[in-house]
Amino acid sequence: MNGSVMKTEEALVSAMEPIYLGIFEGIKAYVGGDVLGEGGLNIFGWVPHIDRLWRSAAVTGLEIGYSKEEMLEATRGAIKANGFKTNVYIQPRIWPKAGTGRYHASEFHVVIPIWKFDTLLGKDNSRFGVERRYVVSSWRRIASDALPTQVKSWANYANSALATREAARLGYDGAIFLDNRGFVSEGTGACLMTVRNGTVITPPVTASILESVTRGRLIEFIEEDLGIPVEVRDFTRVELYAADEAFLCGTGYEVTPLTSVDDINFGEEYPGPITTAIAEHYSKILEGKVDTRKSWLTPV
Ligand code: PMP
């Protein structure tokens, strides 16, 4: 935090922090050679994640005050100080310091909390194929000309919280947003991909989605490594219903298959074969087992 490694309980801030003005990133480091086991850690997609953090700061008028290299060294330092040897989630957070001007602040907190997570990935992981029944939210995705959805700011997650709470109240496991034009947008914390007649289809960045690092990498390797065509285009709620398979993708959600939306099941088989093939290849990339994708990994 702000240049030193410190215990979470000592990382204290003022009660007057302008908390709604913060930005952050969500990044994961996986154990090389075994997605589920112990060993050396590699950060997935460090460069696009840190570039997005810099873009988020520019759009929202925050100054990070450290170089990208210093952020990487701080992340490595915090992982080592914790002695982590298992998969970890890294969440750099930046916000204006209380009392330094708010919208034109002169000082900013830069904090990099790191904690362990349990992956859904890895062959035969029992969490992967758990039933997940989703619903199309009555809350629309915030329009990107109201709050920029390509910025990873905490304010955007107030929209996600409304949709998640509504889904839970209605007895579903999660929500899918439509955008302000009525086209399918994304999940509450992940992008959406569907499979129809052997083609993967995902909404474009203009559908008020966060420009997801995972989505970008998936689009690349699904076509190039697996030979499955990908279409990036708008689609409607009814075309979502017609999908043979659907899954969420993102740092947190990794590749998360969905069973149904609005009580309409996707296809015959769950999890679907293409979703499973994508998840398995993704976990091999994360384990450092795909030579051509090793450049996506940054050793801790
Ligand atoms: N959309 C939203 C709203 C998210 O919160 C996330 C998670 N960061 C994603 C998509 C996926 O983005 P990424 O692959 O960069 O984690």
Catalytic residue among 28, 97, 152, 284: 152
Q: Do residues 199 and 227 touch, judged by C-beta distance below 8 A?
A: no
Once rounded to an integer, what is the mean pLDDT over residues 226-236?
98
Cα 287 to the center of its chain, rounded Å: 18
In degrees, to the nearest 5, what angle opens at C-alpha 189 toward C-alphas 185 and 193?
Answer: 50
Q: Is the pLDDT of residue 39 over 90?
A: no
Closest ligand 1 atom to 48 CA: 15
User: What percent of the chain lies above the pLDDT cut of 70?
Assistant: 98
Q: Do residues 291 and 228 touch, judged by C-beta distance below 8 A?
A: no
pTM for the predicted model, two decimal places: 0.96
pLDDT tens-digit series, residues 3-19: 999 999 999 999 999 98
If you average pLDDT over every residue of the chain, what do you get? 96
* Catalytic-residue membership of 28: no
> Whose CA is closest to 284, among 203, 202, 226, 223?
226
212 alpha carbon – ligand 1 mean position (Å): 5
pLDDT tens-digit series, residues 98-147: 999 888 899 999 999 999 999 999 989 999 999 999 999 999 999 999 99
pLDDT at 161: 98
> Whose CA is closest to 87, among 156, 15, 31?
31
Weakest-pLDDT range from 22-36, 133-147, 208-222, 274-288: 22-36
149 alpha carbon – ligand 1 mean position (Å): 10
Query: Strands, E, within 169-280: which ranges?
Result: 174-178, 184-187, 191-196, 199-202, 230-232, 245-250, 254-257, 260-261, 264-265
Ligand 1 atom 5, closest CA: 189
pLDDT at 103: 85
